[in-house]
């Protein structure tokens, strides 16, 4: 990315799940070569990584879904290239991307939720990224909203991720089709086992009532979690991203209604709820923006 | 309070619930007179107030339980005395007191929960008080942990305040005595209507099993909420204060066990859980410390 925020080039490589740091280094090598071809100078490198990141050390401390091999990402990259390197959690980077380039540009109090397979989150508080003592903060997806709720792979029950993530919507879509085999969810998916959130979303767009009800329930729970978020952070704006937002109004409308109902019940001011305009680039734009701000207290 | 943190004098006056700012001004007048008698100079005034406070303006924006009359507390005090004045939410001030003088002294990542009639909370993130855009952040007591839970006066259902506050313990104590009239909760209270959390705590200390079960259940829900808190903030230390902590181990032990169980399930590091050592002075020490740091970005 240029200093003015223009994305010059992009490389997309599947992560090696047993040695993610190797993948990062090969992507960095590739990008440096491409940028050199344009004649531009590289002044800093920003990396957004899945898992807990100790930002000050550029080090992974915990990553349930990926093995990084070498957790010292910053040092590993700096051993190849003598440039400043910023490493942060991918959702933190995305929140910074929103803050710098997105719908919430200029807001120093924003919350970003990435509704994908799971739920990632990043928070900007008073212009700074919330990281916690060890980089293990901002795990909003694992806020328990129903102690009797479904088991979550994280070890707890009833995390919001079990109600409003892609996996949760797929699970509820499968359960709904067992009761209503005529639902177009099933015709989109082919078989019950193959149902994903995308199939539920497609069926809902064609006014399939079963699909719409699955998304409505997910949206109501999301609205409840957003109410908790407001009580904790009092943000200026909440931004939603991730693949699940493609399911559109059946879920997002229900979430917005539930949030507004809760804010009104508590006599709280209304909160802006936006969908990201950065699309899939949100993470890389954020990582680049963090690199640009290296040395500042962000 | 002196610059070295010594509490020189104290005045305690019941707040006028229809004109709280008047009470604040009369206390300030009283304190200024007392300090003048000692020959000391007053350099700044710190005020912790119940409700949402716009810190930068020293102004109340929302206070469900008190009518301040004049919400412009800072300006009202400065109209009487030409000194710097810091106004903050009372639980924020208490968190700052813990940070400056208490069990969590020196920690830049701490959470304070005040378990009283309701539940107040203050958070220090990276050495700064979490206030949000308008001073309405850090309302951890109104985090919904069970959507089907008891109605809360805030307008929502199932807030953690409805499980682990003094009012919630009293309510559950009354319900428990209906089923077990032999419980010593009733002999301490005199009548079912008069049961408070204190009576439940006294009965539990005498090994009344009914009382201990009420406190255990409250503790488990508190532990659940503390798990959410860790997932959001990744603090170094959590400090508990407020009258309810007098109920002691039957509740706090259950909370600690539940939190540890949750952290272990998620493979998170253990978190220090302390009880405040500042007692009832936590709020005034914090307000004074905020005054001392006026002008710094806290």
CATH code: domain B106-276 is 3.30.420.40
Report CA-CA distances (Å) from A176 to A115, A163, A209, A244.
Answer: 21, 14, 11, 18
Q: What pLDDT is stored for residue A113 in this prediction?
A: 98
Average pLDDT, chain A: 94
Q: What pLDDT is stored for residue A297 in this prediction?
A: 63
Contacting residues of B for A269, CB less than 8 Å apart: 134, 136
What is the tens place of the pLDDT at every residue in A84-100?
999 999 999 999 999 99
Q: Could you say which residues of chain B have pLDDT below 70?
A: 295, 297-298
Comparing A197 with A65, which gets the higher pLDDT? Answer: A197
* pTM for the predicted model, two decimal places: 0.95
- DSSP class of residue A141 equals G
Q: What pLDDT is stored for residue B180 in this prediction?
A: 97
Buried b (16+ CB within 10 A) or exposed e, A259-282: bbbbbeebebeebebbebebeebb
Q: What pLDDT is stored for residue B199 in this prediction?
A: 98
Query: What residues pair up with A112 in beta bridges, in sequence order?
Result: A122, A239
Q: Which residue of B lies nearest to A151 if distances are taken between CA atoms? A: B265
What is the tens place of the pLDDT at every residue in B215-251?
999 999 999 999 999 999 999 999 999 999 999 999 9
Tokens of A261: 């109902």
- CATH T-level fold of A20-98+280-292: Nucleotidyltransferase; domain 5 (3.30.420)
Q: Do B143 and A231 touch (CB under 8 A)?
A: yes
- Cα B146 to Cα B268: distance, rounded to the nearest angstrom: 23
Confidence of residue A44 (pLDDT cuts 50, 70, 90): very high
Interface test with chain A among B54, B144, B236, B263, by most A beta carbons within 10 Å: B144
Contacting residues of B for A145, CB less than 8 Å apart: 144-145, 147
Instruction: Give φ, ψ of B31 to 5 degrees.
Output: -65, -40
A20-98+280-292 shares its CATH topology with A107-276: yes
Q: Do B234 and A126 touch (CB under 8 A)?
A: no
All structural domains of chain B with their residue ranges: 20-98+280-292, 106-276
Question: Residues B47, B77: contact at Cβ < 8 Å?
Answer: yes
- CATH T-level fold of A107-276: Nucleotidyltransferase; domain 5 (3.30.420)
Residues of A with CB under 8 A from a CB of B: 62, 64, 109, 125-126, 128, 130-140, 142-147, 154-156, 221, 224, 227-228, 230-236, 262, 264-269
Q: What pLDDT is stored for residue A10 in this prediction?
A: 87
Which has the minimum average pLDDT: A4-13, A112-121, B98-107, B224-233?
A4-13
């Amino acid at each position: 990315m240029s200093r003015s925020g223009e994305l010059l080039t992009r490389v997309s490589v599947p992560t090696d799940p047993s040695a993610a740091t190797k993948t990062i280094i090969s992507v960095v090598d590739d990008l440096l070569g491409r940028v050199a071809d344009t004649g531009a100078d590289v002044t800093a490198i920003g990396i957004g990584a899945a898992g807990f990141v100790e930002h000050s050390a550029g080090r992974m401390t915990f990553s349930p879904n990926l093995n990084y091999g070498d957790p010292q990402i910053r040092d590993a990259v700096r051993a190849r290239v003598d440039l400043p390197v910023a490493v942060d959690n991918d959702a933190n980077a995305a929140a910074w991307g929103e803050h710098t380039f997105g719908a919430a540009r200029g807001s120093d109090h924003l919350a970003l939720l990435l509704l994908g397979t799971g739920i990632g989150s990043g928070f900007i508080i008073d212009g700074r990224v919330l990281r916690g003592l060890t980089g293990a903060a901002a795990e909003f997806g694992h806020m328990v909203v129903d102690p009797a709720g479904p088991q979550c792979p994280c070890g707890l029950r009833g995390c919001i991720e079990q109600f409003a993530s892609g996996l949760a919507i797929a699970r509820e879509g499968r359960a709904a089709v067992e009761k209503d085999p005529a639902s177009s969810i099933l015709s989109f998916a082919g078989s019950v086992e193959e149902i994903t959130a995308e199939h539920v979303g497609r069926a809902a767009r064609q006014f399939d009532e079963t699909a719409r009800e699955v998304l409505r329930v997910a949206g109501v729970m999301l609205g409840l979690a957003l109410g908790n978020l407001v009580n904790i952070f009092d943000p200026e704006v909440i931004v939603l991203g991730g693949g699940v937002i493609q399911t559109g109004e059946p879920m997002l409308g229900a979430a917005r209604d539930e949030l507004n109902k809760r804010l009104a019940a508590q006599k709280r001011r209304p909160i802006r709820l936006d969908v990201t305009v950065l699309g899939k680039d949100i993470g890389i734009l954020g990582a680049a923006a963090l690199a640009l701000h290296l040395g500042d207290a962000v």
